[in-house]
Structure 1
Amino acid sequence: MAVTEADETSPLLGNGNENGTAPKIKTAKTAKAARVAGAIFGPANRILLAGFMMSFTLGITQVPIIYVFRLMECDIFYTHNPPFDGLGDRCHRREINAGTATQVSVLGMTTSFSGIFNLFICGYFIKIWGPRWAFCSQTALLGIRVSTQILGVTIGGRAGEIIFQACQAIGVVGGPRGFQLVLNTAVSELVAAKDRTAVFGRLQGSIMLGTAFGFLLGGVLGEVYNIRRPFETAFFLYVACTIYGALFLPTGTGDGTSQKKSGRGISGFFAPIKIIRSHKYRLESGKVVKVYSLVFLALGIFLGVFASGYAPILLQMYATSEFNFGTIENGYLMFGNSAIRGVFLLLMFPKIISAGRIWFNGKQASSQTRHAEPESRIPINPEDFEADECGEVPQEPVQAPDPDEEDSGTGFDLFFVRWSLVIDSMVTFFAGFSTNGWQVYLAGYLLPFASGSAPAAKGVMTELCPPEQRPDAISAITLVESTATLLTQGLFGLIFAAFSEMDKPSLTFFCNAGFALIGFIVLFMAYLPPANSKRIDDHDSEAESEN
């Protein structure tokens, strides 16, 4: 009979049993059940569920907001013009479509502008409160914001638009960017480096799935009941998200080293800005060089988000103005777009990253094998260094990387970021030729396959930074995305309004595709540091110069 091996939970004396076999078997079964429960209800899955719940709540109001603004702009138009007495939709006019695009653009700019400041404030909350209470602060304040939107829907007209746009300032302290920053920061410290990019994608996928179902439910609630019902439902869901975060979200991640070293003062508040700059690396030969990879990576991601960030709004605006889509049609469109993107990031993206790294590292390894020097090695221990004339070691030993912790697939992650922008530009370009409603659906359902650049960029960014700077690195890349979203919603909203006045709104798609290609070109100037090099900070280089 096979005897179950003891583990760390097995009693030393067997609880009175002579050989301790029965208690060992019972303990082994209990330990196995505990491991299964831990895998299902572990911190990572609780974080993914929090992302799904929050994005679901946010998505409920996204489709109705555009329809609400169209109704309010329609009411404003007919207060200064003769009443509508024809057949069909009285709001289907070029002037109303242009006015709606302008007001939605202002709303998007206000939201994104608030989100930029929200990143700094929420990042500071994470350092002083931890992930759990930082998350709760974001959900509670978002509940307050949606309550003001209920008031704006009730009042309507120009006053309703002003209430919507002005109360977005609540997002400075608590907003959607903040809760995503909390969850990404938590994941970055929970997950091993080799799996970090894939888990970033899974988190983004769960967020997109929540957004998809939120889009669908929001459109149905607005069509079946009234336009206020989606906002009222979102308010109660924000309350539920706050309670969930307070009870189940992990209180801390990792060993807290990153938060201790990142600082909590003014320098810690603005630390994300300092990440995006050139950094010095010491080559294997001892030469120190500057690497600008983070600068060009940030610029490439900025252009990529700038090109594609307006696509969901653009598809809705274009379909509404050209094909008379309502809330249900736009709800199905955004549901399909977000659902396909969520499934892609949850299921396909991790497999693409895994298979791509095997392919990419295989090529890289074979190339390095041909050019490797058999005698070269990096000194690890202090006694491996030659002493100087005074008998002192001239520099600190280089820490050998742990193969299990080292993310050796960062090169493919960067490769993936580049070519995803090419696919995005191609789909966006052909979307400009849509002449039927089904073609808009097709474009909306193909665009998700160009996603994945954001989680891959987070993986590259966190791997290029020391462990203590990873929370600030995530804040930095999120800050870049928020800034690009701010500009794209403002600029392309005005571009769409101008093209709508010319009765050629489809030209906006071609502008989006052009910026995506520019981002693809810029990303080729971002490269990984040379092999066997070591990053040195400013204080390290100053100490070495003194020695």
Structure 2
Amino acid sequence: MACDAYYLEHNVLHPPEDRCSLREIGARTAREVAIVGMSTTFFGVANLLVATWCIKKLGVKQALLIQIFWPAVRLAIQNLGAMTGGSKGILIFQASQIITIIGGPNGYVLALNSFVTEIVNPEERTGALGQIQGYMMIGSAIGFLVGGVLGDAFGILAPFRITLLLFLLCCVYVAIALPVLPRADPNNTDTRQKSVGLMRFFGPLRIFTPQKWTLKDGRTSTQFGALMLGIGVFLAILATGYLVTLLQMYATTAFGFGTSANGYLIFMYSSLRGLYLSLAFPRIIKIGRKWLQPPTSESSKIETAASEPVGTSASEIEIADSMDAETEPLNPPQRENEEETFAFDLLYARCSLLVDGILTGLCVFVSEGWQMYMVAVVLPLAAGTGSASKGSILQMIASKDRVDALSGITLVENVARLSTISVFGFVFAALAEVGKTHLVFVCNAGVALIGFIALLFSRFPPDGARRIDI
């Protein structure tokens, strides 16, 4: 569209063989794409807050429908922009991004994660979150590959129309196939208090504040586990969030990869990472928990059961627990003690980030083009830091704050992704000027190792401790 706009606005008598290869067109394209990217990021943060509000007020399924429907509306408008072309088409594209505030990727990923955490058993949440992320990566990889093929075969409008159709089909599927989950009680005191003032919009970040716990011996302790976990996740995304772009840029700069070669490279990386998260990650979490299961877990459950209100008999407790187990998929109980602490989730997050840093650092020794495909095969083996971190933070906070926990950590991830584009984009450019682009992998690895150190300071509250709600 920038190319068409240039020739509509300038009278060029002798255009080059590749009519779009002018510096003016390239510069305008970069500016216009940057505007779309920045607006998507900022509107996406607002979308995250809107989605959080929708989940609490309307319910998870209704919020998911809203977050899927409005991107379809945005795509319909962008179809018009693609058909209009030129400067008007660019303006339509950029203006349509404001719809992202009402519904967009951040919102439907948050709603989907919230839905999953409600319908699966507590011990399966971490693995399920990894599977969801894996499925999304596989879909993204296939989408990029198929979109490119359709664009080449049937024109640039084809991918837009197919995507619009897919979003509408997704809306129908969610409306028909997914069950309606009960929303939070609007009369709940905690819900009303969190919806007042600025905390109504920035409440999700509250989960990272230090928490006070009462230890078994009666002493009060301040726990920084959630805060250090948030810092570790930020540094993890800062280190790895630029990898997809970095692999393409480095392959192009160092080994002359073209569009198709880069397409296959990223397809391999994304699809293998998705397969690892959807197939291997849940099994590793399950096996690791059995290996690292704390011996005091059963005694902690007994102590928790003994701390139930005095007016409840043992038989009543047993009946209530069996009823909760039967109804959890549709109406999960909102209890402080419904989740058991799984230390392996946090250990996995630390180890995966450490391995990610080591593997990324080793990329500095890549000297031939075919080795880039080896990198795309090996790097996905360190996936799962984000999913394990989400599973860990869900165990660190009260069950009533699940939506805020997922929203807060997603907000941290978005800020990290925005930061990594600017930080490592500048680093790559600076190293390219001195002919040392391979050193960018060392910088990535260094940030990942700092994130690993931050995760070392993240810990679960001691066994037998009780949260002090303020």
TM-score for the superposition, normalised by structure 2 = 0.81
Q: Per-residue deviation at 1:121?
A: 0.1
Query: Which of 422, 438, 455 is equivalent to 1:523?
Result: 455
Partner amino acid, structure 2, of 1:365: P
**What is aligned with 1:16?**
none
Q: Does 1:252 align with 2:185?
A: no
Tell me the alpha carbon deviations over residues 268-316 of structure 1, each in whole angstroms, 9 at most, x when there is no partner. Answer: 5432121110000001110001111111100110110111112112223
Q: Per-residue deviation at 1:148?
A: 4.2
2-side partners of 1:95 and 1:522: how far apart?
Answer: 45
Q: Per-residue deviation at 1:118?
A: 0.8
Contact 1:187 1:200 in 2 (8 A): yes
**What is aligned with 1:392?**
none
Tell me the alpha carbon deviations over residues 202-222 of structure 1, each in whole angstroms, 9 at most, x when there is no partner. Answer: 222222222222122112112
2-side partners of 1:94 and 1:495: how far apart?
Answer: 23
Partner amino acid, structure 2, of 1:174: G
Secondary structure of the structure 2 residue equivalent to 1:365: coil
Query: Which of 401, 407, 410 is equivalent to 2:340?
Result: 407
Q: Per-residue deviation at 1:414?
A: 0.9
**Greater radius of gyration (CA):** 1
2-side partners of 1:251 and 1:283: how far apart?
Answer: 39
**What is aligned with 2:443?**
511
Q: 1:83 to 1:326 in 2, by over 3 A?
A: same
Q: Per-residue deviation at 1:115?
A: 1.5
Q: Per-residue deviation at 1:343?
A: 1.5
**What is aligned with 1:168?**
97
**What is aligned with 2:325?**
none
**What is aligned with 2:157?**
228
Secondary structure of the structure 1 residue equivalent to 2:451: helix
Tell me the alpha carbon deviations over residues 31-79 of structure 1, each in whole angstroms, 9 at most, x when there is no partner. Answer: xxxxxxxxxxxxxxxxxxxxxxxxxxxxxxxxxxxxx99x799999x99
Q: Does 1:465 align with 2:397?
A: yes
Query: Which of 289, 295, 319 is equivalent to 1:365?
Result: 295
**What is aligned with 1:201?**
130
Q: Does 1:179 align with 2:108?
A: yes
2-side partners of 1:84 and 1:105: how far apart?
Answer: 26
Q: Per-residue deviation at 1:330?
A: 3.2
Instruction: Out of 264-273 and 156-165, give the one that drifted further.
Output: 156-165
Contact 1:258 1:471 in 2 (8 A): no
**What is aligned with 1:265?**
195
Q: Does 1:274 align with 2:203?
A: no
Q: Per-residue deviation at 1:172?
A: 1.7
Q: Per-residue deviation at 1:469?
A: 0.9
TM-score for the superposition, normalised by structure 1 = 0.70
Measured on the aligned residues, the alpha-carbon RMSD in Å equals: 3.8
What is the number of residues matched between the two proteins? 440
Q: Per-residue deviation at 1:498?
A: 4.4
Partner amino acid, structure 2, of 1:308: T
Structure 2: any 5+ residue segments left out of the alignment? 312-333
Q: Per-residue deviation at 1:236?
A: 1.7
2-side partners of 1:204 and 1:100: how far apart?
Answer: 31
**What is aligned with 1:217?**
146
Q: Does 1:146 align with 2:75?
A: yes
Aligned identity (percent) is: 40
Query: Which of 115, 121, 129 is equivalent to 1:192?
Result: 121
**What is aligned with 1:304?**
236
Q: 1:101 to 1:446 in 2, by over 3 A?
A: farther
Q: Does 1:533 align with 2:465?
A: yes
Contact 2:59 2:184 in 1 (8 A): no
Q: 1:401 to 1:251 in 2, by over 3 A?
A: closer
1-side partners of 2:419 and 2:115: how far apart?
Answer: 28
Q: 1:93 to 1:238 in 2, by over 3 A?
A: same
Partner amino acid, structure 2, of 1:134: A
1:46-85 residue pairs with structure 2 within 5 A?
84=16
Tell me the alpha carbon deviations over residues 76-99 of structure 1, each in whole angstroms, 9 at most, x when there is no partner. Answer: 9x999x9656xxx89889999898
Instruction: Out of 190-199 and 278-287, give the one that drifted further.
Output: 190-199
Q: Per-residue deviation at 1:491?
A: 2.9
Q: Does 1:122 align with 2:81?
A: no
1-side partners of 2:426 and 2:35: how far apart?
Answer: 9
Tell me the alpha carbon deviations over residues 303-337 of structure 1, each in whole angstroms, 9 at most, x when there is no partner. Answer: 10111112112223333455454544333223222
Q: 1:79 to 1:305 in 2, by over 3 A?
A: farther
Structure 1: any 5+ residue segments left out of the alignment? 1-67, 385-398, 539-547
2-side partners of 1:130 and 1:200: how far apart?
Answer: 19
Q: Per-residue deviation at 1:159?
A: 6.6
Secondary structure of the structure 2 residue equivalent to 1:482: helix
Contact 1:219 1:330 in 2 (8 A): no
Q: 1:483 to 1:400 in 2, by over 3 A?
A: closer
1:418-437 residue pairs with structure 2 within 5 A?
418-437=350-369
2-side partners of 1:173 and 1:97: how far apart?
Answer: 32
Tell me the alpha carbon deviations over residues 328-374 of structure 1, each in whole angstroms, 9 at most, x when there is no partner. Answer: 4333223222221221112111111112112222xx439x99xx9xx
Secondary structure of the structure 2 residue equivalent to 1:454: helix
Q: Per-residue deviation at 1:471?
A: 1.3
**What is aligned with 1:380?**
307
Tell me the alpha carbon deviations over residues 473-528 of structure 1, each in whole angstroms, 9 at most, x when there is no partner. Answer: 11111111111112222333344344455555444333322211111111111111
Partner amino acid, structure 2, of 1:109: M
